[in-house]
A and B are shown apart, each in its own frame.
Chain A
Amino acid sequence: MNVFGAAALALLVTVALALVRAARGPTVFDRLQAANTVGTCAMLLLAVLGFLGGRPEFLDLALVYGLLNVIGVIAVLKFFRNGDLGDPGHAKEKER
């Protein structure tokens, strides 16, 4: 097994560990942190896989994945600021 394979395997194990944390929780923030780690590892995994298969074009995907990862976490956070998923986010209107 070459070095890229070993690195890819380690990254996959990390993703699995993060998934365990995402399943266990207990808070939504733990799950988000786990999702963030999965995103980072997926980005690295894409880069390594590109080298493993001799197609470094995968790096463009890694770049996009990295962007989506950060924006995704912040978007979900904003979503959760107003309470749970069923909350319309217009607290004042609800009171009327």
Chain B
Amino acid sequence: MIDVLSAACLLAGAFFCLVGGIGLIRMPDFYTRMHAASVTETLGAGLVLLGLMLEAGPTLISVKLAMVGLLLFFASPTASHALARAALLRGVKPELADEENPSSKP
């Protein structure tokens, strides 16, 4: 049972990591690529780590995996924010949507 759950978490996490990679290629400008990459950094990484934690059970290994996760969740927004701010200050213009045509829902 736990094995199935852990495998599901791992595969789902790997899928979301892939989505981030695809987004990095598909998105039109720098800022939108950041949004795609943050899928990798949050949900992808979180699910992979959760899957590994379920596999490891209540051991020191799980504690270390949780530390990796906490580190990622506390530090990566800071790096993203610094990156976006530096880009804006250096004059990288975001491509914005036109006001008139309404956003299509996916």
The answer to whether A and B touch directly, with their CB atoms under 8 angstroms apart, is yes
A47 touches B52 (CB 8 A): yes
Known: A51-B55, A67-B71, A77-B82. A41 touches B33 (CB 8 A): no
Write the chain A residue with the least CB distance to B76.
A70
Write the chain B residue with the least CB distance to A40.
B41
Known: A27-B30, A40-B76, A44-B48. A6 touches B40 (CB 8 A): no
How far apart are B8's CB and chain A's nearest CB, in angstroms?
A: 9
**Interface size, chain A (Cβ < 8 Å):** 44
How far apart are A44's CB and chain B's nearest CB, in angstroms?
A: 5
A32 touches B83 (CB 8 A): yes
Inter-chain contacts of B64 with A (CB < 8 A): 56, 59-60, 63
Inter-chain contacts of A29 with B (CB < 8 A): 30, 83, 86-87, 90, 92
A17 touches B48 (CB 8 A): no
Inter-chain contacts of A77 with B (CB < 8 A): 82-83, 86
Inter-chain contacts of B103 with A (CB < 8 A): none
Interface residues of B in 54-89 (CB under 8 A from A): 55-56, 61, 64-65, 67-68, 71-72, 75-76, 78-80, 82-83, 86-87
6 tightest A-B CB contacts, nearest first:
A17-B21, A10-B14, A14-B21, A70-B75, A29-B87, A7-B14
